[in-house]
Amino acid sequence: MRAVLESFFVKAWSRRGIVAVMLWPVAKVFGFLLDCRFKLRTLGYHQQSTLPVPVIIVGNIYIGGTGKTPMVIWLVEALRQAGWHPGVISRGYGAHVEQIQEVFADSLATMVGDEPLLIVQRTGCPMMVGRHRVASAQQLLKKYPNVDVIISDDGLQHYALGRDVEIVMFDQRGIGNGWLLPAGPLREPAARSRDFTILNASNSTAVSGIGDDVFKMHLQAGDLIQLRQPEIHQPLSAFQGKKILAAAGIGNPQRFFTMLSAQGIDFKAMPLADHYAFTPEIFHNEEAEIILITEKDAVKCRQIAGLRDDPRIWLVPVAAELEAEFKHQLLKLISEKKYGCTSA
């Protein structure tokens, strides 16, 4: 049901049709509240907590998934290459996070969230999840005093956390119909200030409304990895002619399906709700010879008996690729924030 509702609103938010128009008065109220919140913050009524290290926020204005997780993974690797020691914080969406928890490679996805677990498994980076990002960051710095930069996975609208760099992610949906929630998909106005705008889409995709100074991010698929035996890898082309099912429980499943289609693969698509709670029986009635899933879904399926032993299931790893100029400008800005100069 949730996946159906998400699909319905994605379509409704792509244009200014009858559903959007009916909700427009509510969106105006939401916009008024956002404006009041901004004015109170500028007047000093809502204080921000400043951390002793630079903070990078990776977030979005368009509600839902826009590629934040692969961006965070890319940031961790890029910062390490430049000599930094990053740590990551997150809310832990899709999990039952009541208190601050550290994320380990063998943590349960139901306890820390699928995206944080994927980030740690891919990077080994110190990471904390919790409802209050400031407290999570403080605890992270206390346990790992060598951490000299913090990346916040999401949290763009969590203004209690001071920030030095804001990265706003978009995908091919752009700003939708350009209206605020619930008439449109925007959490904040599209003209909201930020340091960097990243478009997660193919190089040929043109998206209007997100600004002029935009850096492109491309997700490059790697060889498939069998869920049951991760040491077994196969190129996607090895499954040409097979009966394939592609399942995706991410914020924008169509992006996963489009990536597979670009590889010339025929498949049946199974879009699922973001942070979908997989069950052992989900694929029992599927006659597919091969089942392709995302890395984000794989961290959950690997912990479910009946899925982790299914030899049909293969995960599709992706790696973010960004322009060299973005990396140069980002590192320069972080150094300026920390050292007051352009080189660390």
| Count of beta carbons in the 10 Å neighbourhood of residue 207 | 15
Residues 188 and 157: beta-carbon distance below 8 Å: yes
Look at residue 344 in the predicted model and tell me its pLDDT: 44
Describe the chain by its helix, strand, coil percentages, rounded to 5. Answer: 35, 20, 45
% of the chain exceeding 90 in pLDDT? 81
Pairing, β 149-153 against β 55-60: parallel
Average pLDDT, the chain: 93
Can you give 285-304 as a three-state secondary structure string? CCCCCEEEEEHHHHHHHCCC
> Which tens digits make up the pLDDT trace of 157-177?
998 999 999 999 999 999 999
Higher pLDDT, 339 or 335: 335
Confidence at 10, pLDDT banded by 50, 70, 90: confident
Confidence at 212, pLDDT banded by 50, 70, 90: confident
> Which tens digits make up the pLDDT trace of 273-312?
999 999 999 999 999 999 999 999 999 999 999 999 999 9
Residue 16 confidence (pLDDT) above 50: yes
Q: Which residues have C-beta within 8 Å of that of residue 294, sequence separation ≥ 6?
A: 248, 249, 250, 256, 315, 316
Residues 307 and 313: beta-carbon distance below 8 Å: yes
- Residue 225 pairs in a beta bridge with 233, 315
